Amino acid sequence: MHTLARMLQLAGLTIPPLAIIAQITDPENFGTGALLKFLLMAVGIFLLGYLLQRFGGGTAS
């Protein structure tokens, strides 16, 4: 459970820079609305990972 939580947190931290790069390189096809959706999705994924780690029980190995 701890590993899954860490992977979700890492994914949540990886998505925003990729979304920003996509918006900078191609603003016509990847607008501000899409950027906001990706950022909110990243926050949700990170939060899920955090909550799994915090309340999932077990110990870090």
pLDDT tens digits, one per residue of 45-61 = 999 999 999 998 766 55
Question: pLDDT tens-digit profile of 10-41?
Answer: 999 999 999 999 999 998 999 899 999 999 99
Instruction: Report domain extents, the chain.
Output: 2-55
Which single residue is written with the structure tokens 């799994």? 52
- In sequence order, what DSSP letters do the residues of 32-58 get, joined into one string? HHHHHHHHHHHHHHHHHHHHHHHHS-S
Tokens (6 digits) for 57:
């029980």
In the structure encoding, which two tokens stand for residue 53, read together? 């780690």
Farthest-apart Cα atoms in the chain, separation: 46
pTM across the whole model: 0.84
